[in-house]
Amino acid sequence: MSDMDMEDDGSGIVKKFMFLNRKAPHGTVYALEGLEVVLITAAFDQDVSLVFTDDGVYQLMKGIDTKGIEVKDFSKTYRALDGYDIEKLYVDQTSLDARGLTEDDLIVDVSVLSDDEMKNLMDEQDVVISF
């Protein structure tokens, strides 16, 4: 392979990707589809941050039981993310507070950010993809 080809295929470039989840888990397909895209992106060795804000924090609730509505319970998948080297999970305190939730209500370990911390995290990304 020539040097030209090496440059053209873009391998080795790592960008900062943020996946911004703002929807509750089952009322729309956004949460599940977003999770699928995150898992795909993990295969490309990018610097991935996963953010849950607004109704998105509901995706991480413990104790989800979807038998009654006959849809897939994908909440367990969030616990598998560190197996895909996706370890940067964030929620914001404002969204938790507005929903009467605390970190203890969530199925995975997350970093809880203030609004200032969240806005800086967003600002430093190369790519933000919203679900």
Partner 1 sequence: MLHIVNKSATERSSLDSCLRLATKGSAVLLIEDAVYAATKGSSAAAKIQAAAAGLKIYALGPDLAARGMAGRVLDGVNVVDYGGFVELVAEHRNCQSWL
Q: By CB under 8 A, name the binding residues for partner 1.
A: 23-28, 54-55, 58, 61-69, 71, 73, 75, 98-101, 105
Residue 45, SS3 per DSSP: coil
Rounded Cα distance between 128 and 8, Å, is 24
Least distance from partner 1 to the Cβ atom of residue 131, Å: 13
Strand partners, 110: none
Least distance from partner 1 to the Cβ atom of residue 130, Å: 14
- Shorter beta-carbon distance to partner 1: residue 48 or 89: 89
Least distance from partner 1 to the Cβ atom of residue 94, Å: 11
- Shorter beta-carbon distance to partner 1: residue 105 or 117: 105
Q: Which of 77, 79, 116, 121 is nearest to 94 (CA)?
A: 116
Least distance from partner 1 to the Cβ atom of residue 15, Å: 29
CA-to-CA separations, 37 to 27, 44, 95, in angstroms, rounded? 19, 11, 23
How many residues does the structure list for the chain? 131
- Shorter beta-carbon distance to partner 1: residue 49 or 53: 53
